[in-house]
Amino acid sequence: MLYLVPTPIGNLSDMTARSIQVLKDVDLILAEDTRVSKPLLKHFGIDTQVQSFHSHNEHSLSPKIIEKLSLGVKIACITDAGTPGISDPAYLLVHACRNANIEVIALPGATAFVPAIVASGLPTEKFFFQGFLPLKKGRKTQFEFLANLPCTVVIYESPHRLLKFMDECILYFGGERQCSLVKEISKMFEKHYRGTLFSVNEELKILTKIQGEWVMVIEGKK
């Protein structure tokens, strides 16, 4: 059995008791970056064996992991922060498990887009989760697609691209589209910017430094 175990995206108190117990009970933990995960595991008293598993080696490692799972080895997969498979490695391994008739259990837990959208004040009955946009090829096409959706849109962005990203949002969605931009969800310096894309962009321009991870929630086309 493979377990997909969410880890905190900022606040360690968001780690569930069930997640801690599963990580203690399994035979092996697959971690996106062992340097990030080992301090977290030590904090919760988890001494299970840890193996590196990330986007650069998941193609080559997945068949070996499937072989271990087939032999009855219990394995958990975690990422640096959040839920495995949401803008992080895990999809290829889960797909391989499905083809091999190996059960996959995904535990509920921390992820950035859910608190971002429910706190946005924008409609939540329907939404489109984009995650990170393509960096170059297909970026313009994807922006045009998103701008025409009649539902709320959720996009992830990194700090060093944020100002350029805001200019692109105004270009494709229009400056008057309502939005909610969230910085560092669940962390000490969590901050919400709400208003039109234009007004939020003006707030960002006066910041002396842009840091942290960001989630953008944008109103759908009317």
Domain residue limits, the chain: 2-106, 113-218
Q: Looking up tokens 């944008």, which residue turns up?
A: 218
Query: Which one of 3.30.950.10, 3.30.9.10, 1.20.1440.230, 3.30.1490.110 gives the CATH number of domain 113-218?
Result: 3.30.950.10
Taken in order 162, 36, 192, 153, the sign of the CA dihedral is positive
Q: What's the rounded Cα separation, in Å, for the pair 150 and 51? A: 43
pLDDT in the model for residue 106: 97
| pLDDT mean by block of 10 residues, the chain; 222 residues | 95 95 98 95 97 91 96 96 91 95 95 95 97 95 98 97 97 98 94 98 94 96 94
Please give the class, per CATH, of domain 2-106.
Answer: alpha beta
Collapsed DSSP state (helix, strand, coil) of residue 93:
helix
Reported pTM: 0.90
Task: Report the pLDDT value the prediction gives residue 55, as an integer from 0 to 100.
Answer: 87
Please tell me the distance from the alpha carbon of residue 221 to that of residue 126, in angstroms, as a whole number. Answer: 12
- Residue 106: strand, helix, or coil: strand
pLDDT at residue 77 in the model: 97
